[in-house]
Amino acid sequence: MAQKSPLFSSPIAALHNVPSSRRRVSRYSISFRPPKGGKLIGETWVNTSDAEDFIELGREEFASKNYASAITLFEKALTAEGSGTKRDRTKPAELSLGEKQSAYYNLAAAHAKMENWDLAFASLELTFQSGYANGRLYGLGRAARDYEQLEFDEDLKDLKRDERWSEVMEKYRVKGSEIAFQLDPSNSSIGKAVEMMSRKKTNER
C-alpha cells in the first residue's frame, strides 16, 4: 500500500497510502475546485496539478473512511487539468499516466470499500489499461514490483472473493524471462551495467 505521488519516484503513483507527513492539513469542500497546490520534495517546491490536488484530497477522505466523498474527488481528478500534454491552448492539460493510474487505482479501492463490485473491477481494469505495472513503460523489474504491490494491497483484498479478481490479475500479469529481468536496468546491477555500456558506445560514435 505504499503508493506514491506521480511527482515522486514511482511511476504508478497511486497516492493510495502516502505517509502522513506528506498529507495536507487544510481541507476543502468537494464541491469546490481546489486551489493550485504544491509540495516540498527535498529542498525543492514542486507545483501540483488540479488532478493531483483532487487525488490528494480524495486520499484524505479515504483515510478518514469517507469513501463516498473520496470517490467523488477521484472522479473529479479524471476530468481536471493534469500535468500531461497540453494539446490545445483553449483546453486544460491532459492527465499524465501517473495521474490516471493514481485516480483509477484509488477509485478501485474506494469502490471496493463501498462494495460497488462492478465499479471496483472496472476501475481496476482502467488502472492497468492506463499503464500500471507495464513492463514496456517502466521495465520488467519495476513493473513486477508494482504488480505485487497491488496484488497484496489490503484495501483491495475484498475483491479477491470474486472470480473476476483472478481473471484481471492473470490478464495483466507481468511476464518476462529470467534473463530479461536480469538485463532490466530498473531491476539489477547487470542491467544497469549493460545500459551504461550501450550509452557509452553510442556517445563514442
Q: What is the CA radius of gyration of the chain?
A: 18
Q: Using alpha carbons, select from 81, 25, 31 the residue that is nearest to residue 51.
A: 81
Percent of the chain with pLDDT over 90: 48
In the predicted structure, residue 14 carries a pLDDT above the cut 50: no
Please indicate whether residue 178 or residue 109 has the higher confidence score (pLDDT). 109
pLDDT single digits (tens) 154-172: 999 999 999 999 999 999 9
The full 3-state SS of the chain, as one line of letters, equals CCCCCCCCCCCCCCCCCCCHHHCCCCCCCCCCCCCCCEEEECCEEEECCHHHHHHHHHHHHHHCCCHHHHHHHHHHHHHCCCCCCCCCCCCCCCCCHHHHHHHHHHHHHHHHHCCCHHHHHHHHHHHHHCCCCCHHHHCHHHHHHHHHHHHCCHHHHHHHHCHHHHHHHHHCCCCCCHHHHHHCCCCCHHHHHHHHHHHHHHHHC
Cell of 69: 466523498
Would you identify the CATH topology of the domain 20-131? 1.25.40
User: Quick one: average pLDDT of 19-37?
Assistant: 40
pLDDT single digits (tens) 130-149: 999 998 888 888 888 999 99
d(CA 9, CA 147): 16
Is pTM, for the whole model, over 0.75?
no
Provide the pLDDT confidence category of residue 71 given band limits of 50, 70 and 90: very high
Cell of 51: 488532478
Q: Using alpha carbons, select from 129, 167, 133 the residue that is nearest to residue 149.
A: 133
Q: Cell 489499461 sits at which residue?
A: 129
In the chain, where are the structural domains located? Answer: 20-131
